[in-house]
Amino acid sequence: MKMFKKILIANRGEIALRVIRTCKEMGINTVAVYSTADADSLHVRFADEAVCIGPAKSADSYLNIPNIIAAAEITNADAIHPGYGFLSENAKFSRICEENGIKFIGASPEMIDRMGDKASAKSTMEAAGVPVVPGSPGLLKDLADAKATAKKIVYPVMIKATAGGGGKGMRVVWSEDEMEEHWNSARQESAAAFGNDGMYMEKFIEEPRHIEIQIAGDKFGDACHMSERDCSIQRRHQKLVEETPSPFMTADLRKRMGAASVKAAKAVKYEGVGTVEFLVDKNRDFYFMEMNTRIQVEHTITEEVINFDLIKEQIKLAAGHKMSGKNYEPKMHSIQCRINAEDPFNGFRPSPGKITTYHEPGGHGVRIDTHVYANYIIPPHYDSMISKLIVVAQTREEAIKKMERALDEYIVEGIKSTIPFHQQLLQDEKFREGDFTTKFMETFVIKEK
């Protein structure tokens, strides 16, 4: 069976290390790339080779396509793993890898373009029979079209940037007299952010849950779903905690969402691992939102409940192997807390700098994915995640207990971290009951120490 000899990891931080670990276990050589700000990072230390690709600024290093391709050519890498963020869903990068005979471990440029344009992803999924939120048939022509469409859909509605995702260029509109203002500001925002002001419209789903399904597909047209993740605990579109199974899940809903996700994957002949994101309303009706063509930060909790290495599967699928996954029912419960270098008592303000004391929790059912260590300096140039603390246990109650115990053991000093936030969240009655939606963080109040 064909397998890569050497993979270059075009990323930094914990995900670069995560990929290196699986490569080692698979007997694949690894090349780290790093910016001058990351010379002391563990991904540089643990890779077989490392190439500096530029200065601290992402645009000059981790987003610098010519430098990354040059690094792959110099080291003779036959594949590139992009991790998440940075170039992981960049169609141009995927194409350039292809043109240079380097396998991009991710989606084809065509798939990235099709799923990256949200209106086109939505119509593709609708045509495949996946439930979507009722809305405009495609892009809105102008303000008059927006008003006429909203009248048909019935207020409240949401206008969304087709180039968007992550909440940018998105507005809730409650009545016609608000439309003009939101129409103009949303279009301006998307033009500035994406160079594309195409907008579409949907019925506004109030207090939804964010539940996503991990999928995989192979080049022979086979596809499977690997159960769900509940990512409803978010703040300003940044996920804070993820868990699987979702406390809102039922056997019937999982069956329906799983089947819809496999249908989605097969309809687009999806190759590799990916995620289908859904909004789920209080009646357990679910609607396709976005398809992510990358490995995600929260893939770990799925790995824990199904005991399966998703990065290994991703690499094997990219090499053209048959899928080894199947439709899974989670038998365990896993929770991940994202530990960020942020001050939860001051509006989650970033807190980069030197970690003076570092002690990790351990023990049965506790996993930490991180690139940091004692005396490591968190550079101010990148995202603020220091680590992912993941627990797995037989039940949700036991997983929460284990997470409480692990957070109590976790010592990070010298910088502010979100550990105290997670400790308070776990004590919240609604959280403990599993009774939360994407609006949870709007009303959650952090108590002073």
Binding residues for ligand MV4 (CB under 6 A): 133, 158, 165-167, 202-205, 208, 210, 234, 237, 279, 289-290, 438
Asked if 48 contacts 69 with a C-beta cutoff of 8 angstroms, the reply is no
Distance of CA 204 to the CA centre of its chain: 23
Q: How far is the CB of 434 from ligand MV4 (least distance, A)?
A: 17
**Helix locations, 118-226, DSSP H:** 118-127, 143-153, 176-194
Tokens read off for 400: 């929460």
Closest distance to ligand MV4 from the beta carbon of 205 (Å)? 4
Q: Does 95 participate in catalysis according to the annotation?
A: no
Nearer to ligand MV4 by Cβ, of 54 and 85: the residue is: 85
Nearer to ligand MV4, 57 or 203 (CB): 203
Q: Based on CB atoms, which residue is closest to ligand MV4, 234 or 424?
A: 234
Query: Which lies closer to ligand MV4 via its Cβ, residue 202 or residue 243?
Result: 202
Instruction: From residue 43, give the alpha-carbon distance in Å to each of 2, 8, 16, 54.
Output: 26, 11, 6, 16
Asked if 301 and 336 touch (Cβ cutoff 8 Å), the reply is yes
Of 4 and 200, which CB lies nearer to ligand MV4 in the complex structure? 200
Least distance from ligand MV4 to the Cβ atom of residue 134, Å: 9
Mark out the alpha helices in 276-395 (DSSP H runs): 299-306, 310-318
CA atoms of 308 and 122, how far apart (whole Å): 30
As measured in angstroms, the least distance from the Cβ of 186 to ligand MV4 is 13
Q: Name the active-site residue from 294, 338, 367, 405.
A: 294
Q: How far is residue 354's CA from residue 347's CA, in Å, rounded to a whole number?
A: 21
Mark 133-148 as b/e (b = at least 16 C-beta within 10 Å).
bebbeeebeeeeebee
Q: Which residue is associated with the tokens 């594949």?
A: 79
Q: Nearer Cβ to ligand MV4, position 240 or 355?
A: 240
Beta carbon of residue 382, minimum distance to ligand MV4 (angstroms, whole number): 22
- DSSP assigned state of 5: S
- Output the smallest distance, CB 298 to ligand MV4, in A: 13
Q: Could you give the angle at which helices 310-318 and 13-26 cross, rounded to 10 degrees? A: 70
Helix axes 65-75, 91-99, angle to 10 degrees: 30
Residues designated catalytic: 294
